[in-house]
Structure formats: C-alpha cells, structure tokens
Amino acid sequence: MDAVAKGFAKAGLSSARYHLFLCRGPECCAREDGERTWEHIKAEIKAHNLPAMRTKADCLRVCAEGPWLVVYPDGVWYSQVTPERFDRIRREHLEGGVPVAEWVRATQPLGGSRRDPPA
C-alpha cells in the first residue's frame, strides 16, 4: 500500500458517510475549549465506530460563538459545540440522521439552496 492509500485508509475515506470540521478557536472560542471538544469528538467517533472523517480547523471565518462544527455532506453548521452538545449531535444527527435544529445556525450543503433557521 502506498503512502496515499495508507492516508486514505487512516482517514476512513472508503467508509465515510460524514466529514466533520471543527474550529478550535482561538477567535471564536478559547483554544482550550476548542481542544476539549476536538478530543471528545475524536474519542466518540472511535468509541461508537462512526462512519465519519474529522478535520480540525483553526478558523472557519465566523470567529464568534464557537467552537464551530460543520457536518458534511449535510452542510449543517453548529455553534458553541461543547463535548456535551456533541453527544446529542452524535446521537440525533450522525446516528439518527436528524440535525439538532435548536443548535443549527445555518445549513448550506454546497450545491443546494441556503436555509437558515427561523429567527
């Protein structure tokens, strides 16, 4: 297996149904809060064998009310994602297929039309 194939295997590309991006701050939240959520997400993906790739980001250009979690292919943007909030997002969205509407700040699946929750 060449290096790229190993990388794809390590990322879980062939079985992924979701790709999660998490901004860990430092502008949208304290970096330590972002890191705590990031470490929790990594552990939960492994513990629950979720078909999800994960990528940490240093900025998703919103820069307020983080940590921000974006779930693709749905294009769902969650703000203020604590480890506790991620547990519910995991259960209801990633395993149940239904986004946690009260925490969704925007939905943009890149190719569809933009849908924001009611104010």
Residues that bind ligand FES (CB under 6 A): 23, 25, 27-28, 59-63, 66, 68
- Looking at the Cβ atoms of 66 and 99, the one nearer to ligand FES is 66
Three-state SS at 70: strand
- Record the tokens describing residue 27, joined without a space: 């502008």
Q: Which helix (H) or strand (E) holds 20?
A: strand 18-23
Query: Smallest distance from the beta carbon of 12 to ligand FES, in angstroms?
Result: 24
Please, what is the minimum distance in Å from the beta carbon of residue 43 to ligand FES?
21
CB of 70 to ligand FES, least distance (A): 10
Give residues with Cβ within 8 angstroms of 112, minimum separation 6: 75
CA atoms 58, 110, 14, 43: torsion sign:
positive
The nearer residue to ligand FES, 39 or 95, going by C-beta atoms, is 39
| Nearer to ligand FES among residue 38 and residue 68 (C-beta) | 68
